[in-house]
Structure 1
Amino acid sequence: MKVAGTAGYDVCLSDLFIRLSVCLSLCPSVYLFIRLSVCPSVCLSVRPSVCLRCKPIPEMNWWNEGPLYQISDVNEFSENGLKGVEEKLDYINQMKVKGLVLGPIHTVQADQSSTLELTSINPEFGSESQLISLLDRAHRKGISIVLDVTPNYEGVSAWFNNAASVAERLKEACVYWLNKGVDGIFLSHLNDIANTEAWPSVQGIFNKTDGTKKRALMGSVTGLSADDASHLLNQSSVDLLLTELPDPAEPGIRQAQVVQILYVDHLQTSLGWSLSGRTLGSLASRTPAAPIRLYQMLLFTLPGTPVFNAGDEVGLKAGEKVEAMWDLESQADDDNATAKTVQEERTAVRDFFKALSDLKGKERSLLHGEYISLHSSPTSLAFLRLWDQSERFLVALNWGNDSVTMTLTYSDLPAEARVRASTDTENLAVDSKVSVEKLELGPKQAVLLSYAFPG
């Protein structure tokens, strides 16, 4: 590499197709000449228009690289239990899922702590050898497995109203399953166990490292305010916390405040966003007043990790069996118009989910970019995700019954932006350009826009 006007030095580039991800901090007046080793006769002359300095990529772990997928009841997900989950890994992989949150699958009788065996798999779900087989195949596909070991998952109190009494068995189980190859442990009602004297020793199990990929300690809470959830996250220091926030029943102004509280106080690598699960039910049932695609977009674009329950990707409602997902692979009877319509709608919802998941996994602004609130009202919300010189993403949602015009202002907003995903393809078609300054959005609609770094 020769730089005009400076002492020359040579660098060989062995591959013409190397992506130039390293920014050049050169002055605009400097010319850069590169002789490529793949073709010695070719020189590249570049005159940089601006001085560029790339921000260092923040430290991320596997659970920050895409969505997580909860399978709370493995028998409901598949007739073959753990073996059936393994058989569905190709399907899960198509959803661009980075990890499964599995179970609980251990042995316990409801509300009887004396029957708790956290290191023993309930035969109704399968065997330890089947779990090991699932782990092996999932890892070969790049999918991590987190095991939910919430003790009394079939009883009234998740921790038998006395978390300290099962703390030693919990620690033994964490060590046991991590040694078997699981990539993390999940605990619901985290505040119950995190407030015990045993918690630091549970944490200590996950602080140990042997140079391999990080093992995650994850948890969830229910019924806490944003401030209380923030306090628990600080206190517990878990790697990922699901808070059941923002509450879709609250006004958009409050939802924006909740996101801001959690985002400002914590690294987004520890923020998990989920509106469904074992106790909450499906996403479609939790948000019946708006199309499920609107909330899929919200969860995929908030700063942190989106977590979905099995069936959320096709919009299953309460009482509907997960097997309905597998029916999408077979042709609906042409004589049954209702079944055909349902199949087409669920397929469209799944395709929308897959498109968002793909963007989440490859766009830096969505993966770890800044979150900037642009607009909030009782029924609508808009925010920006941006990272350094990467493509910017603008998210706008309207779950109200009336159309809304959002007046959006930010220093680098262009006049127009490109539609990347939309619930209103008639008025906001994918790849079309729309006005950003006064963005019009129909009732119960959402749109994801992008524009280039203005520099």
Structure 2
Amino acid sequence: MLMVCYNSKCYKYEIVFSVTMNKYTEVDIKEVELREMTGDVQTVGRNKNGSLKRKVLSTDELMKDAGTLGPVFWLVFGLFIVVLVGEILYIVLTPGCKPVSEMNWWNKGPLYQISDLVAFSDGLAGVEKKLDYISELGVKGLVLGPLHTIQVDQPDTLNLTEINPTQGTEAALVALLEKAHKKGISVVLDLTPNYLGASPWFRTGDLDDVMEKVTTAAAHWLRLGVDGIKISDLSHASMSPDWSKLQSAVQGNNTKKRLLMGVVEGVSAAEVSQLITSSGVDLVLSDLLSSRTGGVEHIKDMNILHSQQRNVGWGLGAARLDQLSKQVISQDLIRLYQLLLFTMPGTPVFTYEDEIGLQAQGGKMVWDIEKEPAEGAVEAERKKHVAIRKWFRSLSELRGKKPSLLNGDFYPLHSRASSLAFLRMWDQSERYITAVNWGAASERLSLTPEPTVGLVLPEKVKVKLSTDPSLEAESTVSLDRIILAPRQGVLLEYPACFFNRTLVSRS
């Protein structure tokens, strides 16, 4: 609808567009009405009821009057055509949304391992009582156990369907499952057979018999409502002729997706990739972060595995059920590795108390860090652990909401002996750059994508989260001036669409 006024007369033009398949195909000008708009306009006349009569102009008369309007009409009409052309170009040139690949529940949030349920919270019943706490961490899956009884290195005594009484009862497990499912948390049982012995699968000649017991036990616990099965030494287990039977028991249910999770240690990223393909397992947790300590190696490993990220689990110490605090030398590094795990291409896997940066003290998990202690050094230590948990929750929440972090593409930007940086991006969502420096000295990062990928980075980005006091959250920084203090990390954010006056150099 256009309204044009000229010489005390106002004209209303109604232009109707016919649209087919999102493209404008024709423009029609209808018969247009001339109304009395001011007292200076001669009245056409009134009906018997006193209402104003209307004079309807034909198309020829309209165009004749339009000619008398001079440049005003054509200026407005020209602007309208410009807007119309812009809309058409936007529809034609704007790329469609990238289709989202299927995401399973274990891809959507961190997995939280509780190997010793007594140390965590007095067994299965205690874990059920702590589900509110666990839910606050954004956990999508609990990995419990092993819970079964075992006599070390004696396969004949193996009973995978009986819960060790010190850990709880089957009824307590059912109650835990029901409450966890109401909170959107899935539960996985660790059925590693000889978990206290020298070899997880006993002697080489025992593999087939033990695999049969594991398959039978898996079917039992899955019928009870468990959401997945975890085993150790996947490389060895998948060599069994009966491996496919375990796969069928766990993955064969089409009504609900269940997790078959395997752990490997001491293998390369290329071997992990090959094992994912050959074993058909849903998720492989390796010790790559623990066994390979350099930034260059970490970037190479992520680059190899990023295309299989839905099948890759990352943890620091998690493959051995160790806590972060056993692997690092300072609380600063705990937050740095939390940042790394939550933003790497794959599923982050933690062990209980990683969220507060502690080890179980005296065999029990510390639950009173929110309480106000007396004063002095104890209070300062308490505040550190509270801050670590707050950092953990912020990362978990962000990962759960942002497609680029959840399942985005991975691009290396920087790697040195004690530092690395990479980009995560997905379609039209915000992009994120993770940069960490676990070295003992400050380091200036050179954030440049590989020339072959054709990426352009913005000149300036926003600091989303940071452990470095010099890089304050929500501040804007230049990418060519990122300097990380020792043992610090930062998460940078920029929009999918940005304008650069100067492109980032590609050295």
Fold match, TM over 0.5? yes
Partners of 1:447 and 1:166 in 2: how far apart? Answer: 46
* Structure 1 residue ranges (4+ consecutive) displaced by more than 3 angstroms after TM superposition: 2-5, 46-50, 317-322
Structure with more relative contact order (C-alpha pairs < 8 Å, separation 6 or more): 1
Which of the residues 357, 372, 393 maps onto 2:432? 393
Q: Distance in 1 between matches of 2:190 and 2:291?
A: 25
For residue 354 of structure 2, the aligned residue among 312, 323, 339 is: 312
Equivalent residue number for residue 265 of structure 2: 222
CA distance in 2, matches of 1:437, 1:282: 35
Runs of at least 5 residues in structure 2 that lack an aligned partner in the other structure? 1-14, 23-82, 450-454, 499-507
Correspondence 1:209 to 2:253: yes
AA in 1 matched with 2:191: V
SS in 2 for 1:109: coil
Deviation at residue 439 of structure 1 after TM alignment? 1.5
2:85 is the counterpart of 1:29? yes
Corresponding residue for residue 342 of structure 2: 300
8 Å CA contact 1:285, 1:318 repeated in 2: no
Name the CA distance, whole Å, in 2 between partners of 1:445 and 1:89: 31
Mapping of 1:14-93 within 5 angstroms?
29=85, 31=87, 50-79=93-122, 81-93=123-135
Structure 1: runs of 5+ lacking an equivalent: 10-26, 33-45
Where does residue 167 of structure 2 map in the other structure?
A: 125
Aligned to 1:40: none
Q: How many residues align?
A: 416
Q: Contact 2:111–2:349 (CA<8 Å) still a contact in 1? A: yes
Q: Is 1:178 matched with 2:191? A: no
Any residues of structure 2 matched to 1:28-427 within 5 Å, and which?
Answer: 29=85, 31=87, 50-79=93-122, 81-161=123-203, 162-211=206-255, 213-247=256-290, 250-264=293-307, 267-277=308-318, 279=320, 281-288=322-329, 291-317=333-359, 321-324=363-366, 326-334=367-375, 337-410=376-449, 411-424=455-468, 426-427=469-470
Matched residue SS, 2:95: coil
**CA contact 2:292–2:298 (8 Å) conserved in 1:** no
Q: What one-letter code is carried by the residue in structure 2 that aligns with 1:179?
A: R
Q: Which moved more, 1:351-360 or 1:249-258?
A: 249-258
Higher mean alpha-carbon deviation, 291-300 vs 188-197, is at 188-197
**How much has 1:383 moved relative to structure 2?**
0.1
Instruction: Output one character per residue of 1:86-118: Cα deviation in whole Å (capped at 9) or x when no partner.
Output: 000000000000010000101212222122111
Change (3 A) 1:437 1:152: same
Letter in 1 for 2:85: S
- Normalising by the residue count of structure 1, what TM-score does the alignment of the two structures yield? 0.87
| Cα distance in structure 1, aligned partners of 2:208 and 2:448 | 51
Contact 2:317 2:327 in 1 (8 A): yes
Residue pair 1:311, 1:322 contacting (<8 A) in 2 also = no
Conserved 8 A contact 1:69-1:308: yes
SS state of the match for residue 301, structure 2? helix
Instruction: Name the SS of the counterpart of 1:120 in structure 2.
Output: strand
TM-score when normalising by structure 2: 0.78
Deviation per CA, 1:129-164: give whole Å up to 9, x if none: 100000000000000000101111122221112322
1:450 aligns with 2:506: no
Say if 1:246 and 1:259, in contact at 8 Å, map to a contact too.
no
Q: Which amino acid aligns with 2:326?
A: S
Matched residues, percent identical?
45
> 3-state DSSP class of the match of 1:119?
strand
Larger Rg: 1 or 2?
Answer: 2
- Is the Cα–Cα contact under 8 Å of residues 437 and 488 in structure 2 kept in the other structure? yes
Q: Give the number of the structure whose residues are more often helix, by fraction.
A: 2
CA distance in structure 2 between the aligned counterparts of 1:422 and 1:31, rounded to whole angstroms? 40
SS in structure 1 at match of 2:318: coil
CA distance in 1, matches of 2:176, 2:240: 33
